[in-house]
Amino acid sequence: MMRRWLVYGLMFMAVGGLAYWVGLQRGGTMAEVAVPPGDPGADADTATVVLMGVVQSASPVEVLPDTSGKLQSLHVRKGDLVKEGDLLAIVRNDAFEAIEERLAREYQALLMRVEDLEKSVARAKLETARLKSEVEASASRLRLVQHEAERQRLLHEQGATARQKYQQAQADRESSETQHYALEQVLKTAETQMASLEQSLGVDRYTLADKQAEWEAAKGDVGLGEVFAPVEGVVTEIRAVEGADVGPNAEPLLQIAPMDAMRYAVVQPNEAQMRRIRVGQTAEVRPQALSDVRELPGSVSGFRGQEVLVEFLDANNSVPPGSQVQVSIDTGGEEIATGLPLLRLGTRGRTGRSPSNH
């Protein structure tokens, strides 16, 4: 029985050896068979590579505050569409705010003083005008009294009037002159006081203007903490959190992808897929979140490390940066370097592996 099995084994080995020898003899003329890639990133026809990607801007704008401080509040989120001039964030600078508050108090105190001086000057002007009117009336009366006193003097010299009447006229002149001169002194004092008040008012108004300029400058420093959108676009990154220390020389607060800038669909193919992709190949970009937008035409425009950049046409700006897209690249079914891996039948030491296993 053992002998029979031994004979069968020797016959099997002989047949196998003969087949192996025939295969070696025919190895140089045996047809080469291409192994299909079989990777999930290719369609049924291996000429197309299908990948998921994200839309990115070719020239994103990094937003930095104009002042140092703590990020008090963020007014946007990732994915928000902003217009130029929209408020993005507020940065609080305690030192600037303390200066602004002090200058505000000083300005208000000066303003109240100026307002009080303006009222005092207004009252002084009214009093001066009243005194001028009284002085003018007194001068008119004085002229009448002086004229009567002179007339009585001439009559008295001629003996045409009583001495008592003459003396009364002289006394009235002296009294009127005294009252008139007293009123003139009061008027001069009032005018001097009014001039002093006006001078003080002028100085305080000048000081108030300087203080207001300082205050406005301080408010401007505080206002530097208001961060506005420099362009219209989509917020693609937010790098700071509320309460963090930020500044013009620190990490940018956020990043905006301008709506009018060139955009790419960025995909990351595997090694085998990468070998089949080259610049200039046509592509189609299909947005995943927009049912009303069909495929957008594009082409492979470049490489960035392990990423492929696919430029596409989007005249209506319907696919903003950050959008998820499906990208189909027409590769022509050929690899750039060596073509598809080949399996040579009957050749020792060579194995065939799909590109996805490279």
Each residue's pLDDT expressed in tens, for the chain with a length of 358 residues: 445 544 455 555 554 554 444 444 444 333 333 334 444 444 445 689 999 999 988 889 999 999 999 999 999 999 899 999 999 999 999 988 899 999 999 999 999 999 999 999 999 999 999 999 999 999 999 999 999 999 988 988 888 888 899 899 899 999 999 999 999 999 999 999 999 999 999 999 999 999 999 999 998 888 889 999 999 988 989 999 999 999 999 999 999 988 777 788 999 999 999 999 999 999 999 988 766 667 889 999 999 999 999 998 887 777 888 889 999 999 886 555 433 333 332 332 322 333 333 3
Q: In the numeric block, which tokens belong to residue 124?
A: 């002084």
Report d(CA 198, CA 122) in Å as an integer. 10
CA dist 216 to 70, 113, 222, 223, Å?
22, 19, 10, 10
Give residue 358's pLDDT: 34
CATH ID of 95-223, from 1.10.287.1490, 1.20.200.10, 1.10.357.10, 3.50.50.60: 1.10.287.1490
Q: In the numeric block, which tokens belong to residue 51?
A: 């990948």
CATH topology of domain 62-91+226-246: OB fold (Dihydrolipoamide Acetyltransferase, E2P) (2.40.50)
Backbone angles phi, psi at 79, to 5 degrees: 95, -10
User: CATH 1.10.287.1490 residue ranges in the chain?
Assistant: 95-223
Give residue 299's pLDDT: 93
Helices (H) and strands (E) in the chain, counts: 4, 16
Give the CATH class of 36-58+262-357: mainly beta
Give residue 261's pLDDT: 75
